[in-house]
């Protein structure tokens, strides 16, 4: 049977974000970005255009880098969402986070959440990426501060760190 969700009232949805389950009422025309920031109190995910043109809002959905500004909240329920808030292992930084903080991968920090989760997906798939693979993977995340080079180096350093 076709499922129907009406547009004019809030609906209940079950969101699995960073391993936590949230059962919340949300407006069904909201994107995942709005649900995260406004309904789930997770402002770590940023927005720079809300039109898919910058990558600041990137999150992982079922492990895949996804633009939360273009994904409807109602299509994100019951899926595994990972945001920057879920990267650290309790209080311990993820190796990517540590490398970005140490090596200049983050200047103003605004594109950083989207870059970090995208880089995590890369390392999950390709533990020892080449510089070209890193560039390709991060080609959807605009950064105006760094010139990217320290970002690439931080990803490479994290890959070293993660290696068994």
Partner 1 sequence: MSEPELNTKDATPSSTPDDLNKAAFEVIGQPRRRVDGRSKVLGQTPFADDLKLPRMLHMRLLRSPYPHARIRGIDTSRAERADGVKLVLTGADLPIPYGILPVSQDEHPLCPDVVRFVGDPVAAVVADTEEQAQAALRSIEVDYEVLTTIASAEEALEVHEPQIHRYAQSGNIHKRVALEFGDVPEALDGADHVFEDVFFYQGNTHLPIEQHASLAALDPDGKLAIWSSTQTPHYLHKALAKALEFPAHKIRVIACPNGGGFGGKSDPFNHEVVACKAALVLGRPVKVCLNREEVFYCHRGRHPVLMRFRTGVKQDGTIVGMDLETLLDGGAYGSYGVASTFYTGALQTVTYEIPRYRFRAARAFTNKPPCGPKRGHGTVQPRFGQEIQLDKIAVALGKDPAELRLQQLVKDDSLTANYLSISKIGLRQCIEKVVEGSDWKRRWGKLPEGRGLGLACSSYLSGAGLPIYWNKMPHSGVQLRIDRMGAVTAFCGATEIGQGSDDVLAGCVAEVLGLDPHDIHLRTGATDITPIDLGSYSSRVTLMMGNAAIEAAERARSTIAAAVAEKLSVPKGRLVFAERRVFDSADPEQGMSFQEAVILAEAKFGTLGSVGSYTPPVSPARFKGGGVGPSPTYSYSAAVVEVEVDPLTGWLHVHKVWIGHDIGRALNPVLVRGQVEGSVYMGLGEGLMEEQTFRRLPPKLSHAAVHKFPSLLEYKSPTALDMPEVVTYLIEEPDPRGPFGAKEVGQGPLLPIMPAIANAVFDAVGVRVDETPISPEKILAALDLKAKGKPARTGPKGFPTIEWPEPFKVAPPWEGGDGRADDDPKAQRRAISEVRS
Partner 2 sequence: MMRVPQFRYLAPKSVGEAAKILRGEVPSAQLFAGGTDLIPNMKRGQQVPKTLVGLRGLHALREVHADGGLSLGAGLSLSSVAGEGRIPLAQRALIMAAGKVATPQIRNMGTLGGNLCLDTRCNYYNQNYEWREAIGFCKKAPDGVAIQEVTHGTCWVAPSSPRCWAVNSSDSAPALIALGAEISLVSADGERRIPLAELYHHDGMAFLSKRPDELLTQVHLPAVDASWRSTYWKLRRRGSFDFPVVSVGAAVSLDAGGVVQAARVVIGAVTSAPVVLDASALVGAPLTDEAIAAFADAAVKPARPLDNTDFHLSWRKRVVREYVAGALRELRGDTADQLGLLARSAARILPLAACS
Residues in touch with partner 2 (CB under 8 A): 1-8, 28-31, 33-34, 47, 49-53, 55, 58, 64-67, 69-72, 74-75, 118, 135-137, 139-142
For residue 9, report the phi and psi dihedrals to the nearest 5 degrees: -140, 160
Name the residue among 134, 162, 16 with its Cα closest to residue 83. Answer: 16
Residue 87 and residue 94 in contact, taking contact as beta carbons nearer than 8 Å: yes
**Of partner 1, partner 2, none, which one does residue 84 interact with (CB within 5 to 8 Å by kind)?**
partner 1
CA dist list (Å): 84 to 14, 19, 60, 64, 93? 20, 12, 9, 14, 11
Instruction: Supply the minimum distance, in Å, between the C-beta of residue 142 and partner 1.
Output: 6
**Of partner 2, partner 1, none, which one does residue 149 interact with (CB within 5 to 8 Å by kind)?**
partner 1
**Of partner 1, partner 2, none, which one does residue 58 interact with (CB within 5 to 8 Å by kind)?**
partner 2
């Amino acid at each position: 049977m076709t499922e129907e969700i009406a547009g004019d009232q809030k609906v209940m949805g079950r969101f699995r974000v960073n391993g936590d389950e949230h059962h919340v009422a949300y407006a069904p025309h909201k994107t995942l970005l709005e649900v995260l920031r406004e309904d789930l109190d997770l402002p770590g995910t940023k927005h720079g255009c809300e039109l898919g043109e910058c990558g600041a809002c990137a999150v992982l959905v079922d492990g895949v880098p996804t633009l939360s500004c273009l994904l409807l909240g109602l299509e994100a329920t019951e899926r595994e969402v990972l945001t920057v808030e879920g990267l650290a292992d309790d209080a311990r930084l993820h190796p990517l986070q540590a490398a970005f903080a140490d090596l200049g991968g983050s200047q103003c920090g605004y594109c950083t959440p989207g870059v970090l989760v995208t880089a995590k997906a890369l390392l999950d798939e390709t533990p020892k990426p080449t510089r070209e693979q890193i560039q390709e993977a991060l080609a959807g995340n605009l950064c105006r501060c760094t010139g990217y080079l320290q970002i690439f180096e931080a990803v490479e350093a994290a890959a070293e760190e993660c290696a068994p």
